[in-house]
Chains A and B, each alone.
Chain A
Amino acid sequence: MAAAVPAARWARAAAAALLLGCCGAVLAGGIQDQAEQFFKSGHTNNWAVLVCTSRFWFNYRHVANTLSVYRSVKRLGIPDSHIVLMLADDMACNPRNPKPATVFSHKNMELNVYGDDVEVDYRSYEVTVENFLRVLTGRIPPSTPRSKRLLSDDRSNILIYMTGHGGNGFLKFQDSEEITNVELADAFEQMWQKRRYNELLFIIDTCQGASMYERFYSPNIIALASSQVGEDSLSHQPDLGIGVHLMDRYTFYMLEFLEEVHPASQTNMNDLFQVCPKSLCVSTPGHRTDLFQRDPQNVLITDFFGSVRKVEIMTETVSLDRNLTGFESDPVCCLKRQLEISDKEREGKPQLHQRMGRKLKAAKGCIGNRTTKVC
């Protein structure tokens, strides 16, 4: 009896241990999944704010820099409606441009980064520190058109690229005003507090660019700069036909690197950090990742330069009413009518809500894919 009891107890203990082990395994599997999910980005849309701050013909290279990044970002999938492009001067149709409507990024005129399908949102005198900060923080006058707004939400990954002339702690706008690193850091903090970004990639190509990201204190920011404090960023090559330097070195090599990236590539941030070593760039590019939660090794380039399109596949078909006018342009109107029709059919409320919910999802997808922004 005494021997049987310990045996029974041992059996019970063994069963309990087995049960616990199984639960533990399942739990661990669940935690593994959750951990993996935590390390993925979790963004649902991408935005880009590309700013060129220099005026005058001899600053051609800054416009070419910005347009190269614009071109890469468009090629990798971000639509014009999600790009805010600010060019402080017009180089393509400048009277001094021997080839009008072109901005070249390489000597011998190999690559026209201006292209045929460009939409500049802020141009010429509109590129000011005030407008830039208003775009970032969203404090914009109510009459501003949609193409000039940064309509990001808390699940947006934003790429901010700035180029121009800068110094230790400031960036010059159009030769008449400047933005300091403190202002920029505060603007990003405002964006964080208003939940205007999920993750932010900040790239700056100016002299002493690293000073601009020294003061950041908001989370989820990766910053890259083309030169350290005390160093100058140098330009690449002059073109004797056009008569000015065409690009800056850092952006030139970054463009070469980005030309190899396609929407499905797995290149990560660490590759971007190595993009221009001192032997090529003469200045020392720097980066800052302490504010970023994920490991840069796991961050894909396309998380910032490309665009996420979520496609939801529905298994049930949605019947369309033939009498509806203009359904293609507004599924929401169709839904309203469907609601009216179903009211007449006296459908049950919970079923109706379910149907409405599914239809709204489909409609959202429809609208999202179909809106073609004119500018």
Chain B
Amino acid sequence: MDAVATGAGNNSLPCPGQAQRDGLCLHSTAQKQQHQPTPPLGRTSTATPEAGAIGRQDRKRKWVGGAGGHAGGGAGAAAGSGAGAGDDAGRAAGGAAAAASARGGRGRRLPVPHAVGRRPAAGGSVDKAWKELSNILSGIFCASLNFIDSTNTVTPTASFKPLGVANGTDHRLLRYAVLPREVVCTENLTPWKKLLPCGSKAGLAVLLKAERLFHSSYHSQAVHIRPICRDASCLAVSWELRQTLTVVFDSFTSGQGKKDWSLFKMFSRTLTDACPLASESKVYVDISPKNKEKQLLEVTPTPTSVHEAIVQGDKTTYAVYDLLSPVLFNTSRSLNVQLKWKRPEDSSELSTPIMHAQRYVSGYGLQTGEISTLIYNTHPYRAFPVILLETVPWYLRLYVHTLTIITKGKENKPSYMHYQPAQDRKRPHLLEMLIQLPANSATKITIQFERALLKWTEYPPDPNHGFYVSSSVLSALVPSVIAMKDVNVEESPLFTSLFPSSDGSSYFLRLYTEPLLVNLPTPDFSMPYNVICLTCTVVAVCYGSFYNLLTRTFHVEEPSRGGLAKRLANVIRRLRGVPPI
């Protein structure tokens, strides 16, 4: 069952007879029934191939490479709001779901903002739609995405471009937000799995058990929605939903020092069949020979085919297991892909990527600090520009006059810069720069900040944990060392979504750096109680004594002497009110 999301209130694609859920029109059709006048779902699936890791492809679900995304908490949302595709009434709320791309992971973020729409709407309705979208997504994915508000939403100008078929590129309709404190756990995986046509009951998704997936070095899940052409003539537009899951297993440490792995070792289960609703269901294993020597590794069972491609500038060979081919399950009911190394590798170093980045905060004390971003370009002879997007919360007051960009000892001036200062409690800092990275260099970008003191009600319940600064986004067209052949989209849609390339010589890369953890000056929250105790004690002791001193009178009492008669006389005199003898 495919699900297609259209914006709420989208008049051109009305929702009569279609299940409505929380303002999002979700229309379900079975993919086989082509006669229905409903937009079919084109889902493709890709994965990041890593050396020796599996890339899984399945027509129904899609895993997108977390381009260098780093481990660390974070959740972000960016959605292009604006008029929904083909909206006559001009209701801007319709476009809320348009091209929304949600990604979650330890390093969870939802990028994509793009305005898809023929009639750009006013900023106010975009914000309203944005708020509604984040609330809906928080309900669907069991995450606190409802914390997205104006204090962590920005409108980037250059970092993001619309995906798919887009009519307008007005960046004012774009919204981007990150929630770095969010945790990704099973409760986020459960609804993600429920969006899949076969759920986790058949096909490749049977491998997705939470206990194994979260026992890993890196975990990222994403949901991308974009409009695509329904056919070659592009007369009608349909929505494409891509779901991606990226997990990095540390099989070396958990496998007793051996680099051999198998599906059973990683997921504690094997594949038994393909999802009946899938039109394509494949497992890709990267078996590229290193150093162009003879085969060092061996995969069992025999793959159905072998595919060669140039991916991210490197020539890679994939062993393909097509779950829909009847040959695969002939011999045994279950498929357990295993990879064995024929002889132990001496020192196989992973080649460093052409662009990688790092970010850290330095300084001492609780007043000032400095954020530094290091970007490396390891290409031997090509320079290329990169767009850096930094979003810093308002309580770290950036001093833009201290912004320095240094490459190879010299100052590097950005060719484009967009800075939007923060407003206390209203919006965060936004800094976007286009920086040219020379070949084989490291660029250091530093900016100083001052920490603000929050009001005592604004602190979270665990303020001593620290406050997170969301990761910065680096977008670049990285030139590849080897010329890439332009791949036809129609022939292999899976591969083009794996590694989209605009021309034969470079590929697009989006990097997310680490989020930062910064301590703010935190008050002692037990002080109100202490103050009350101390004040009351002081008042009671000091003022009380003083009052007593001032108002207490003393009188001397004579000890009573004398016999019974005198005592009796005294009693009578006291009764009469006369002073006693």
Where the two chains meet, the residues of A that have a C-beta atom closer than 8 Å to any C-beta of B are 55-56, 90, 92-93, 99-102, 112, 114-121, 123-126, 143-148, 174-176, 324-327, 329-330, 333-334, 371-372, 374-375
Contact = CB atoms under 8 A, between A and B. Distances in A.
A329 B18 CA distance: 6
B411 interface: no
Contacts of A101: 185-186, 210-211, 213-215
A147 B145 CA distance: 14
Given A101-B186, A330-B17, A125 B132 contact: no
Contact of B139 (A116, A125, A147, A371): A147
Closest 9 CB pairs between A and B? A145-B139, A333-B17, A93-B185, A101-B214, A174-B461, A100-B214, A176-B461, A143-B135, A120-B187
Given A101-B210, A116-B209, A374 B140 contact: yes
Given A145-B139, A176-B461, A375-B190, 12 more contacts: A93-B186, A101-B213, A116-B186, A120-B142, A123-B187, A124-B182, A125-B144, A125-B181, A143-B136, A324-B17, A326-B36, A375-B140
6 contacts: A90-B183, A93-B184, A102-B211, A144-B139, A175-B461, A326-B38
B573 to A, nearest CB: 57
A84 to B, nearest CB: 12
A100 B18 contact: no
B144 A124 contact: yes
Contacts of B18: 326, 329-330
Contacts of B28: 326, 329
Nearest to B145: A145
Interface of B: 16-19, 21-22, 27-29, 36-38, 131-132, 135-136, 138-144, 146-147, 181-187, 190-191, 194-195, 209-211, 213-215, 460-462, 525
Contacts of A146: 21-22, 139
A109 B98 CA distance: 45
B190 A90 contact: no
Contacts of B195: 374
A119 B460 contact: no
A324 to B, nearest CB: 8
B187 A148 contact: no
A9 B108 CA distance: 95
Contacts of A117: 190
B144 A126 contact: yes
Nearest to A125: B460
Nearest to B135: A143
A102 to B, nearest CB: 6
B190 A93 contact: no
Contacts, number: 128
A329 B461 contact: no
Contact of A125 (B27, B210, B461): B461
Contact of B140 (A143, A145, A330): A145
B194 A116 contact: no
Contact of A374 (B27, B146, B191, B525): B191
B185 A90 contact: yes
B462 A325 contact: no
A174 B465 CA distance: 14
A145 B136 contact: yes
Secondary structure of the A side of the interface?
A: loop
Contacts of B215: 99-101
A116 B19 contact: no
A333 B18 CA distance: 8
Contact of A93 (B21, B138, B214): B214
Given A120-B187, A125-B147, A325 B17 contact: yes
A55 B184 CA distance: 17
A50 to B, nearest CB: 13
Contacts of B131: 143
Contacts of A176: 461, 525
B270 to A, nearest CB: 17
Contact of A114 (B17, B186, B462): B186
Contacts of A119: 142, 187, 190-191
Nearest to A332: B17
Contacts of B146: 126, 143-144
A92 B146 CA distance: 22
Contacts of A126: 144, 146-147
A374 B140 CA distance: 6
B37 to A, nearest CB: 7
Contacts of A116: 186, 190, 209-211
Contacts of B29: 326
Nearest to A88: B461
Contact of A333 (B16, B184, B187, B214): B16
A177 to B, nearest CB: 8
A145 B19 contact: no
A98 to B, nearest CB: 10
B500 to A, nearest CB: 29
Contacts of A327: 17
B182 to A, nearest CB: 8
Contacts of B144: 123-126
Nearest to B462: A55
A125 B138 CA distance: 13
Nearest to B194: A374
Contact of B462 (A56, A144, A334): A56
Contacts of B182: 124
Nearest to B136: A145
A125 B182 CA distance: 10
A124 B183 contact: yes
Nearest to A114: B186
Nearest to A87: B187
A120 B188 CA distance: 9
Contacts of A100: 211, 214-215
Centre residue among B143, B146, B461 by max chain A CB count within 10 A: B461
A144 B146 CA distance: 9
A118 B189 CA distance: 9
A375 B186 CA distance: 12
Nearest to B210: A101
Contacts of B210: 101, 114, 116
B175 to A, nearest CB: 16
Contacts of B185: 90, 92-93, 101
Nearest to A123: B144
Contacts of A372: 194
A89 to B, nearest CB: 9
A326 B29 CA distance: 8
Nearest to B460: A125
Nearest to A120: B187
Contacts of A99: 211, 215
Contacts of B142: 119-121, 123, 147, 375
A118 B36 contact: no
Contacts of A326: 17-18, 27-29, 36, 38
Contacts of B190: 116-119, 375
Contact of B141 (A102, A118, A333, A375): A375
A371 B19 CA distance: 9
A120 B525 CA distance: 29
A174 B181 CA distance: 16
B458 to A, nearest CB: 12
A120 B144 CA distance: 10
A104 to B, nearest CB: 12
Contacts of A56: 462
Contacts of A143: 131-132, 135-136, 146
Contacts of A102: 211
Contacts of A114: 186, 210
A375 B461 CA distance: 26
A90 B131 CA distance: 25
Nearest to B35: A325
A148 B140 CA distance: 10
A118 B186 contact: yes
A99 B214 CA distance: 9
A87 to B, nearest CB: 9
B124 to A, nearest CB: 15
Interface centre among B37, B38, B136, B210 (most CB of A within 10 A): B210
A320 to B, nearest CB: 13
